[in-house]
Amino acid sequence: MAVESWFPLAIYYEDLPESASHKETLVKHIHALRASSGEQRTTESSSWTGDIHGVDRIHHDPVFDWLTDQVGAHVLRYLTILGHDLDKMDVHIQRSWPVIGRKGQVVSPHAHNTAHVSSVYYVSIPSDGDPGGTTFFNDHCPNEISHGISTGMTGSYFERNAFNYNSAQYSPVEGRLVLFPAKLTHSVEPNLTDEDRISVSFDLIVTSREDQVRGSHEFLMPSPSQWKKVPIADGEAIRKSFSQQEA
């Protein structure tokens, strides 16, 4: 008898050796960004996330240059491990934002559907207690013989193993950088400590290089240099014209 396991999920992580020397500067600046971002737009049980509060381009902020460079270097290693040909592609940082999770706060399940690769860097993690791990969900459940049976409501499995896990949890480690497919649903469990849990997220896009031959863009997005923006002078006027036609 033989049972083989295929289609593994590849999550990359690296503990950055210079993290301690950058921690104080990053923590101070992230708190300043939060203080200047206005009132929290999410519930008190939700972590403060910069992307919801207009702080989503920190890859252009010189204070984050070291971290931005680290993300760039490690995403190239990640893509190489996955077998991608870096000579045929360019990688772009699309968005980046800080996250502060205070006591009891979570990040609800979500995916970054406008990106290809996502990453999280743990700037500052509480030293005692449970700061809340990141959970990655098995969205497709290829071995689920009946839809929903892996939720645990039926108690169908006598054990969890490599064939039926419906999630994987990573405990945050200060100074660690994690990369994963952006389409993967994930969440952050509640911070059960009295200290802030501080991280930074990046979304990245992979495109073909500008010099790639024609016909090679079927599954790899063309370079942004080849795009042309469609002008929208007055969106309201366009909507009104359709409303008048329907009337």
| Residue ranges per structural domain of the chain | 12-246
Torsion of CA 109, 114, 118, 124, to 10 degrees: -60
What is the predicted pLDDT for the residue at 47?
96
β strands within the chain, DSSP E: 12-15, 48-49, 89-101, 107-110, 117-124, 134-137, 167-170, 176-181, 186-188, 197-208
Question: Which whole-number Å values give the CA distances from 35 to 38, 146, 149, in the listed order?
Answer: 7, 48, 45
pLDDT (0 to 100) of residue 100? 97
**Crossing angle of helices 19-35 and 65-81, rounded to 10°:** 110
- Tokens 């993967």 belong to 184
Report pLDDT for 163: 86
Q: Please report the pLDDT score of residue 164 as a whole number.
A: 85
User: Along the 247 residues of the chain, how does pLDDT read in single tens digits?
Assistant: 998 888 889 999 999 999 999 999 999 999 999 999 998 888 999 999 999 999 999 999 999 999 999 999 999 999 999 999 999 899 999 999 999 999 999 999 999 999 999 999 999 999 999 999 999 999 988 888 888 787 766 677 888 888 888 899 999 999 999 999 999 999 999 999 999 999 999 999 999 888 766 666 677 888 888 899 998 888 888 888 877 766 6
φ, ψ for residue 58, nearest 5 deg: -70, -10
- Name the DSSP class of 208: E
The pLDDT of residue 4 is: 87
- What class is the 12-246 domain? mainly beta
**pLDDT at position 216:** 63
Quote the CA–CA distance of 50 and 36 in Å, as a whole number. Answer: 11
| Confidence (pLDDT) at 187 | 97
